[in-house]
């Protein structure tokens, strides 16, 4: 029996937290999607997110488990400046802060680190086989540590 956050509960809690951030909500509104936005009529800007990994650390001699899921967020827009602005607001909402999860698990999670892959800014996606083709994307990863 799981005592901690189920992945879906944590996903919902993160999305709820992002939507509650006024600066981010002013830009993307409710356009925060799991996976890739595969709609044929994309409305910019938006964020797509996915859980990339979910390592767990067990406390020696105890029953506590610390989960450290890594989430990747694609901050997407049809302009360079738009993708950069979405990423800036995402960082403001999550970077190096402890937050209370609003999901049913009622755990506390802490942003452990921000690993931004956009050292020089958003990138233009031109690859024909990428569902993000034709847009600017700023990719930002977070590790979110919480007790299970």
Does position 15 have pLDDT exceeding 70, yes or no?
yes
Return d(Cα 6, Cα 52) in angstroms, integer. 15
Q: CA torsion, points 130, 73, 137, 79, in degrees to nearest 10?
A: 130
The pTM score is: 0.79
Q: Which region among 27-31, 42-46, 142-146 has the lowest average model confidence (pLDDT)? A: 142-146
Provide CB contacts within 8 A for 82, sequence distance 6+.
44, 45, 136
Neighbour-count burial of 128, counting CB atoms closer than 10 A to its CB (0-12 exposed, 13-18 middle, 19+ buried):
exposed
Using pLDDT thresholds of 50, 70 and 90, give the confidence band for residue 88: very high
Lowest mean pLDDT among 2-6, 55-59, 76-80, 82-86: 2-6
């Amino acid at each position: 029996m799981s005592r901690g956050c189920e992945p879906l509960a944590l996903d919902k809690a993160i999305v709820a937290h992002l939507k509650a951030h006024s600066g981010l909500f002013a830009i993307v509104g409710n356009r925060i999607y799991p996976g890739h936005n595969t709609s044929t009529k994309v409305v910019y800007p938006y964020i797509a997110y996915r859980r990339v990994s979910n390592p767990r650390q067990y406390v020696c001699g105890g029953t506590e488990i610390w989960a450290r899921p890594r989430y990747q967020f694609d901050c997407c827009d049809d302009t360079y400046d738009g993708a950069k602005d979405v990423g800036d607001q995402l960082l403001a909402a999550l970077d190096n802060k402890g937050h209370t999860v609003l999901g049913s698990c009622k755990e506390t999670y802490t942003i452990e680190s921000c690993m931004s892959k956009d050292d020089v800014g958003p990138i233009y996606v031109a690859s024909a086989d990428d569902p993000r083709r034709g847009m600017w994307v700023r990719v930002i990863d977070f590790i979110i540590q919480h007790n299970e």
